[in-house]
Chains A and B, each alone.
Chain A
Amino acid sequence: MQLFRYVVAAVMIVLCFPLSLLAAEGGEYIAIRKEGSGKIALALDKLDAPVKEESRLAQSLDTIIRDGLDFTGLFTMISPPLNVKDNSSRDNVVLNFGALDSVGAAVYAGGAVTNTSGTISLNMQVYDTSGAKLLLKKTYNGKQQQLRTIGHAFCADLVELLTGKKSIFGSKIVFVSNKTGFKEIYECDFDGHELRQLTNSHSISLTPVLSPDGRYLAYTGFSSGRPALYIRNLSDGKTLAVGKSGISIDPGWRNSRELATTLSFEGDQEIYLIKADGAISRRLTFSKGIDLSPSFSPDGNKMAYVSDQNGLPQIFIEDLQSGQVNRLTFSGRYNTQPSWSPAGDKIAYTTWENGGEIDIFTVNIDGSGLKQLTGNSGENESPSWSSDGRMIVFASNRKGLKKLYIMGSTGDSQRPLLRSDGEQIQPCWSLFSQ
């Protein structure tokens, strides 16, 4: 009995200790989680502006950082206590870690903004509150029009420091919109800001995909009158049309030098590997009927794709070395749009349900662990993973017109990505971050 009480007490201490910090000293990152919540309790202090004219800059940066960190879904934002700073001297701020600890903050971040003849400097400091330990001290510089870049550079450092994973800050989403009356390709930042039109074909442009290094954009375009593969070098804007008879549909990058797409120049629709310079290097599929929508494992050795070889479309996985093909999906009769997760363990795809809805599912690559992410919300299409695998962008007509939405990788926190006229479809989230 005595021993039992002791064990219970010990367990209670472990469970209840509010800020059990798991500091991986000397490792790549510092894992800080408030026990049970799964989120990091962050006290983000208002940025100081030593000169009055800079207070607006500080406010803007504050909003950028706050919104950015909020978007990740990684943090619980905690208001810093009023007495967080023990003295008012700007040069030697002493933090009241006891106060931070008592409001439940595991991490404190604060800093100041200065403007030196047009160069904005953001000086940030991050502390582990329980150990009163400085985790990060860094200055981010840039021009006034780069406030988002400056703020997000800090966000990226903070997320990478605390999670050990590359963050989504600096990543892009490309997609198709018909806001001009034509289907053109656009890009925006990971959070829906900085919308930019990439094609002006006055035609139909579809299924944009960015190469993993961000140098190339590939898409299917109707500029020539028939759907063809276009590869644009984003550094010089030069666009290459892959000249083959027949049509081309829905490209997917295998790595930054090679992509695959469906071509029909040999009669049947098959998937081919194509170099970034447009040369066809290898035919990958040999089944009769439709083979479509290649999405590769991170190592490039396996390809998920859609085939109707058994009648209706299902998702298959081909081992590119052995040529062996296995069917992945058995639940649902119409499964398309596979998207291989960046961690390599899962594939997201869409099922056309009996009621006419389209829903997004994830499944492990061995076919186990089927999970439905959307439901009772119309047509939900074209899932694409964020580079950290924590989120999925998709298109949905749940509120009428098709628009882009974001959700957590388990289907949580579904919300619109951006406000823009017309429909938005076929998003692709970049693996790189600039």
Chain B
Amino acid sequence: MKRKINGIVILALMVTAGCSSKSAVTAPEVSANQAPSPKITQTVTLPTATAPSMPASPSGYGFDQWQTGPLGDVFFDFDSTVLSAEAQNQLKQNASWLGNNSLNRALIEGHCDSRGTSEYNLALGERRASTAKEYLVRLGVTTSRLETVSFGEERPFDAGTGENAWAKNRRAHFVMKK
């Protein structure tokens, strides 16, 4: 319930030729019981040029009972739109699957936990979805195949309270579209 989220600071990764790195990615250090400290402007750490060709598996980081399709979800820290290393890895898998299944399109839903105010969470949810989309586009997925929407705190996956539930609700959720 009061899990301390480790302040993660991903230093700017200067990546190989062809990609231009932008900046640091940070997550705010925050305890669940405290209003968080200000975050640094979020940016995406660029993927390496060689995305893994590993196929998505229906288990692991991005998959739970709410995720039945081939694309795994990605999770966020509180009030953050920063993609963690696991999230980036999941997005690489998703990009790879989309690369092999070029007829499929995906809807990316941005979700938030119930804390904070709902208008702000609607905005935050959209930024989560678009951050995930932006990452996939940089990996080569055509932008028109990816749609985004925000549900803010309106459609929680786990209706409970406490960090376990909240963590499940802070996600970009992938829905396949034909």
Q: A290-B123, A292-B120 are in contact. Are A310 and B38 (CB under 8 A)?
A: yes
Q: Complex Cα distance A204/B149, Å?
A: 13
Cβ proximity bits B70-99 to A, threshold 8 Å, 1 near / 0 not: 000000000100000000000000000000
Is B124 within 8 A of A247, CB to CB? Answer: no
Is A374 located at the chain interface by the 8 A CB criterion? Answer: no
Chain A interface residues toward B at CB < 8 A: 183, 204, 206-207, 220, 222, 225-227, 246-247, 249-250, 262, 264, 267, 269, 288-290, 292-293, 306, 308, 310-313, 332-334, 336-337, 350, 352-356, 358, 381-382, 425-426
Is A312 within 8 A of B35, CB to CB? Answer: yes
Is B37 located at the chain interface by the 8 A CB criterion? Answer: yes
> Would you give 17 A-B contacts (Cβ < 8 Å), ordered by A?
A204-B154, A226-B149, A227-B122, A269-B126, A290-B124, A293-B119, A293-B120, A306-B120, A308-B120, A312-B38, A334-B35, A334-B116, A337-B119, A350-B117, A352-B116, A382-B117, A425-B118
Residues of B within 8 A of A332 (CB): 35
Nearest chain A residue, comparing its CB with the CB of B124: A290
* Closest-CB distance, A106 to chain B (whole angstroms): 43
Told that A206-B154, A250-B119, A352-B116 touch, could you supply 15 new A-B pairs with CB distance under 8 A?
A: A206-B122, A247-B150, A249-B123, A292-B119, A311-B28, A312-B35, A312-B38, A312-B39, A312-B79, A333-B36, A336-B119, A350-B117, A354-B34, A382-B117, A425-B118
Interface centre among A207, A262, A336 (most CB of B within 10 A): A336
* Closest-CB distance, A423 to chain B (whole angstroms): 11
* Closest-CB distance, A374 to chain B (whole angstroms): 14
* Closest-CB distance, A166 to chain B (whole angstroms): 29
Q: Complex Cα distance A225/B150, Å?
A: 10
Is B38 within 8 A of A354, CB to CB? Answer: no
Residues of B within 8 A of A313 (CB): 120
Q: Complex Cα distance A306/B38, Å?
A: 15
Nearest chain A residue, comparing its CB with the CB of B38: A311
Residues of A within 8 A of B111 (CB): none
Q: Complex Cα distance A128/B120, Å?
A: 51
* Closest-CB distance, B128 to chain A (whole angstroms): 12
* Closest-CB distance, A249 to chain B (whole angstroms): 5
Nearest chain B residue, comparing its CB with the CB of A337: B117
* Closest-CB distance, B69 to chain A (whole angstroms): 18
Is B127 located at the chain interface by the 8 A CB criterion? Answer: yes
Q: Complex Cα distance A306/B124, Å?
A: 12
Interface residues of B in 94-117 (CB under 8 A from A): 115-117
Nearest chain A residue, comparing its CB with the CB of B36: A312
Q: Complex Cα distance A247/B127, Å?
A: 11
* Closest-CB distance, B129 to chain A (whole angstroms): 9
Q: A333-B37, A354-B33, A425-B118 are in contact. Are A183 and B126 (CB under 8 A)?
A: no
Q: A247-B149, A337-B117 are in contact. Are A292 and B38 (CB under 8 A)?
A: no
Question: Interface majority SS on B: helix, strand, loop or mixed?
Answer: loop
Nearest chain B residue, comparing its CB with the CB of A250: B119
- Select A352's contact among B35, B41, B127, beta carbons within 8 Å: B35
Nearest chain A residue, comparing its CB with the CB of B155: A204
* Closest-CB distance, B121 to chain A (whole angstroms): 10
Q: Complex Cα distance A381/B69, Å?
A: 37
* Closest-CB distance, A292 to chain B (whole angstroms): 5
- Select B120's contact among A206, A288, A336, A353, beta carbons within 8 Å: A336
Is B40 located at the chain interface by the 8 A CB criterion? Answer: yes
Is A311 within 8 A of B39, CB to CB? Answer: yes
Q: Complex Cα distance A332/B151, Å?
A: 26
Is B122 within 8 A of A250, CB to CB? Answer: yes
Q: Complex Cα distance A292/B28, Å?
A: 21
Nearest chain A residue, comparing its CB with the CB of B154: A204
Residues of B within 8 A of A247 (CB): 122, 126, 149-150
Interface centre among B36, B79, B117 (most CB of A within 10 A): B117
- Select A356's contact among B115, B120, B154, beta carbons within 8 Å: B115
Cβ proximity bits B11-38 to A, threshold 8 Å, 1 near / 0 not: 0000000000000000010000111111
Q: Complex Cα distance A48/B3, Å?
A: 67
Residues of B within 8 A of A183 (CB): 154
Is B127 within 8 A of A333, CB to CB? Answer: no
Q: Complex Cα distance A336/B119, Å?
A: 9
Interface centre among A247, A352, A354 (most CB of B within 10 A): A247
* Closest-CB distance, A429 to chain B (whole angstroms): 17
Closest 6 CB pairs of A and B: A311-B38, A290-B123, A250-B119, A333-B35, A226-B149, A336-B117
Q: Complex Cα distance A226/B108, Å?
A: 11
Residues of B within 8 A of A306 (CB): 119-120
* Closest-CB distance, B77 to chain A (whole angstroms): 13
Is B117 within 8 A of A352, CB to CB? Answer: yes
* Closest-CB distance, A268 to chain B (whole angstroms): 9
Q: Complex Cα distance A204/B34, Å?
A: 29
Residues of A within 8 A of B117 (CB): 336-337, 350, 352, 358, 381-382
Is A269 within 8 A of B127, CB to CB? Answer: yes
Residues of A within 8 A of B120 (CB): 290, 292-293, 306, 308, 313, 336
Q: Complex Cα distance A246/B129, Å?
A: 11
Is A311 within 8 A of B40, CB to CB? Answer: yes
Nearest chain B residue, comparing its CB with the CB of A356: B33
Nearest chain A residue, comparing its CB with the CB of B31: A354
Is A262 within 8 A of B123, CB to CB? Answer: yes
* Closest-CB distance, B108 to chain A (whole angstroms): 12
Q: Complex Cα distance A207/B126, Å?
A: 17
* Closest-CB distance, A276 to chain B (whole angstroms): 21
Residues of A within 8 A of B28 (CB): 311
Is A292 within 8 A of B37, CB to CB? Answer: no
- Select B150's contact among A207, A227, A289, A358, beta carbons within 8 Å: A227
